[in-house]
């Protein structure tokens, strides 16, 4: 087969889980006798500008080079101009914020929650507060609440207003109902209506106040809310706002909502995104159109960058089958765009990496499959890591070490790992969080209980895995958690997020690790494993055997070969 891979960056010295996966796939297919050509950029690194766009270096030389039988062709990247980039970033951010505040978003959220037991405080709410007598959540002048159910016929609201006034409540666009609020007293109101399977509620305050030195425009404080569903009362958690919904709602429901939202975005917004995120490489785009005609199958990666769509357009123009490798994160709002949606819908196949994500994608109507990345088992067999030396170098002797590996940004969950270790230390356990990876966000870390090693060479990273007692990875945004497999190959048990579909597809709860719903879970399971070394070893060994059995690159390369042959022979693709 003649395979074309179009990707954002590529090389032996280019770090990142997705990059390692794509290079492993390309080189192993080349080793099996296929002609593999990679079109990519000259970039080895990219960084986020403070003004809201990405900056790509052109570190690697332009032109052609061989890589273990793969022909790699690199092209220069053009970065945004500072003035235009900052201006477009502000405009795009304003559009996205308005998109979520609009009536259309509320209506689509209702469609997504219809018939479910889910709810969301959708718009117009300030942060949850814990008052002496329980939780409270302030509205602004207007706030929205959406709740799904089977036979909803009642909504209860317990409210508090220090200054009184009126509150208008509109349910599903029906007639407005108005209530008078007593000054400084909690009041409960129950609204009854005909049975339905979703509520779209708007709260409109007749009076708002800006307390001195506060900065907020406060309407009314919601103290408690519930619905009557089929004759039963169901309390609505006041912490269930949009941010919480995005982190923890079922991914199939979330995706159904977000695809419906983004499919109506204007084309100018897509142009802005391409300009701001890139990589913008006219040479790569031109060559992709030419190269697609001489191959049997076009593979494109990844979202939210430009190269997957570049590959799809090239394949469509040449009438060749296209395989999307989006490295998709179901909880990442930035991964939902109309052109990404169309490219994946029209693809011959979409690599989901995880069987759980594949099932979710198929519920969205995408032709998803799951093979996923492998591991070079020879690397782990040939190198003998020195964990004791590593502990000595970082002052970790005698301590309980939890290892976290990734790019240091909030989406990778390191604040949760920090909080879990702090909880263990407060309980008297001499635990330390060892963090390895580049510093993306520049945020300070606690001086006690955290050792930040920064990025490490490959062999030193393997030493770090050997040095730890267990591996903790609370990331929500993954398509496949390579670091879990690396920890298992060193015989370490893992803790990962129950709200991450990729982690749920890898971790067998209680067998080779634990799936955790929050800081309390991470701290509890970490303590269990740290205090029971034999159990920790058993879980780690089961993980090691699973990776050896299921994730050998040689076996997976054969699976890709068979799959790509079938897709190339299917004739998928349209001119």
Radius of gyration of the chain (CA): 26
Identify the pLDDT of residue 574: 42
Q: Do residues 397 and 512 both lie within one domain? A: yes
Whole-angstrom distance, CA of residue 92 vs CA of residue 178: 37
Q: Is residue 379 part of a domain?
A: no
Q: Do residues 565 and 514 both lie within one domain? A: no
pTM of the prediction? 0.93
Indicate the SS3 state at residue 424. Answer: helix
Q: Is residue 50 part of a domain?
A: yes
Identify the pLDDT of residue 572: 52
Contact 312, 322 (CB under 8 A): yes
Q: Do residues 72 and 132 both lie within one domain? A: no
Whole-angstrom distance, CA of residue 259 vs CA of residue 466: 42
Provide the 10 A C-beta neighbour count for residue 158.
Answer: 17
Q: Is residue 155 part of a domain?
A: yes
Whole-angstrom distance, CA of residue 146 vs CA of residue 238: 12
Q: Do residues 192 and 74 both lie within one domain? A: no
Residues of the chain with pLDDT under 70: 571-575
Identify the pLDDT of residue 575: 35
Domain with 229 in it: what CATH number?
2.60.120.260
Q: Is residue 6 part of a domain?
A: yes
Domain with 321 in it: what CATH number?
3.40.50.2000
Indicate the SS3 state at residue 447. Answer: coil
Q: For residue 84, which phi and psi values (nearest 5 degrees)?
A: -65, -40
Identify the pLDDT of residue 571: 56
Taking each helix axis from N to C terminus, what angle separates 267-277 and 82-101, rounded to the nearest 10 degrees?
130
Q: Do residues 279 and 408 both lie within one domain? A: no
Q: Do residues 418 and 543 both lie within one domain? A: yes
- The total number of structural domains in the chain stands at 3
Whole-angstrom distance, CA of residue 32 vs CA of residue 299: 17
Sheet of 470-473, strand order:
450-454, 431-436, 400-405, 470-473, 494-497, 513-516
Residue 279 burial by Cβ neighbours in a 10 Å radius (0-12, 13-18, 19+): buried
Q: 194, 220, 248 — which closes off a domain?
A: 248
Q: Is residue 468 part of a domain?
A: yes
Q: Do residues 212 and 191 both lie within one domain? A: yes
Give, in degrees to the nearest 5, the angle at Cα 330 between 328 and 335: 60
Q: Do residues 542 and 571 both lie within one domain? A: no
Indicate the SS3 state at residue 17. Answer: helix
Q: Is residue 26 part of a domain?
A: yes
CA atoms within 13 A on the CB side of 300: 32
Contact 23, 12 (CB under 8 A): yes
Q: Do residues 538 and 565 both lie within one domain? A: no
What distance separates the 2 farthest-apart alpha carbons in the chain? Answer: 79
Tokens of 186: 């909690």
**Residues 538-559 pLDDT 10s:** 999 999 999 999 999 999 999 9
Contact 203, 143 (CB under 8 A): yes
Q: Do residues 366 and 414 both lie within one domain? A: no
Identify the pLDDT of residue 316: 97
Contact 196, 110 (CB under 8 A): no
Closest CA to 87 of 54, 52, 56, 55: 52
Q: Do residues 111 and 226 both lie within one domain? A: no
**Cis bond upstream, residue 43 (ω within 30):** no
Q: Is residue 488 part of a domain?
A: yes
Q: Do residues 570 and 519 both lie within one domain? A: no
Q: Residue 206 is part of which domain span? A: 119-248
Whole-angstrom distance, CA of residue 139 vs CA of residue 141: 6
């Amino acid at each position: 087969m003649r395979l074309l891979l179009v990707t954002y960056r590529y090389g032996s010295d280019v770090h990142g889980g997705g990059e390692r996966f794509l290079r492993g796939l390309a080189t192993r297919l080349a080793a099996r006798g296929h002609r593999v050509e990679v079109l990519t950029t000259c970039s080895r690194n990219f960084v986020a500008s403070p003004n809201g766009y990405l900056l790509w270096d052109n570190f690697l030389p332009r032109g052609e080079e061989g890589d273990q039988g793969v022909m790699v062709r690199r092209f220069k990247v053009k970065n945004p101009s500072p003035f235009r980039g900052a201006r477009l970033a502000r405009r795009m951010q304003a559009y996205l914020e308005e998109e979520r505040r609009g009536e259309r978003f509320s209506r689509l959220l209702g469609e997504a929650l219809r018939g479910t037991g889910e709810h969301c405080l959708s718009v117009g709410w300030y942060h949850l507060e814990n008052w002496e007598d329980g939780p409270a959540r302030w509205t602004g002048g207007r706030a929205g609440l959406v709740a799904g159910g089977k036979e909803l016929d009642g909504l209860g609201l317990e409210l508090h207003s220090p200054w009184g006034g009126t509150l208008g409540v509109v349910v599903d666009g029906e007639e407005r109902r108005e209530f008078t609020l007593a000054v400084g007293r909690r009041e409960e109101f129950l609204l009854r209506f005909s049975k339905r399977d979703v509520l779209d509620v708007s709260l409109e305050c007749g009076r708002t106040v800006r307390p001195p030195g506060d900065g907020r425009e406060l309407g009314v404080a919601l103290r408690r809310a519930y619905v009557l569903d089929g004759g039963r009362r169901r309390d609505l958690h006041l912490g269930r706002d949009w941010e919480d919904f995005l982190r923890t709602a079922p991914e199939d429901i979330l995706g159904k909502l977000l695809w419906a939202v983004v499919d109506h975005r204007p084309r100018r917004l897509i142009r802005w995104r391409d300009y701001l995120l890139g990589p913008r490489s006219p040479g790569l785009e031109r060559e992709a159109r030419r190269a697609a005609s001489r191959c049997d199958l076009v593979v494109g990666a990844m979202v939210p960058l430009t190269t997957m769509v570049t590959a799809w357009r090239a394949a469509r123009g040449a009438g060749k089958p296209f395989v999307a490798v989006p490295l998709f994160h179901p909880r990442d709002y930035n991964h939902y765009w109309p052109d990404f949606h169309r490219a994946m819908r029209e693809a011959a196949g979409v690599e989901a990496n995880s069987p759980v994500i594949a099932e979710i994608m198929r519920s969205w109507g995408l032709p998803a499959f799951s093979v996923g990345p492998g591991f070079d088992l020879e690397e782990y067999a040939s190198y003998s890591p020195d964990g004791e030396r590593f502990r000595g170098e970082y002052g970790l002797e005698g301590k309980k070490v939890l290892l976290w590996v990734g790019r240091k940004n909030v989406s990778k969950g390191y604040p949760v790992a920090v909080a879990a270790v702090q909880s263990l230390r407060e309980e008297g356990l001499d635990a330390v969080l060892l963090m390895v990876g580049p510093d993306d966000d520049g945020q300070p870390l606690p001086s006690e209980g955290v050792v930040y090693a920064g990025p490490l060479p490959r062999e030193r990273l393997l030493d770090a895995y050997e040095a730890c007692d267990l591996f903790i990875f609370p990331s929500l945004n993954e398509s496949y958690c390579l670091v879990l497999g690396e920890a298992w190959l060193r015989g370490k048990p893992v803790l990962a997020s129950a709200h991450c579909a990729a982690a749920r597809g890898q971790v067998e709860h209680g067998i080779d690790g634990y799936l955790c719903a929050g800081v309390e879970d991470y701290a509890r399971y970490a303590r269990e494993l740290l205090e029971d070394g034999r159990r920790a070893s058993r879980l780690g060994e089961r993980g090691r055997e699973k990776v050896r059995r299921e994730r050998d690159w040689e076996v997976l390369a054969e699976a890709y070969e068979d799959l790509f042959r079938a897709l190339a022979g299917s004739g998928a693709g349209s001119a």
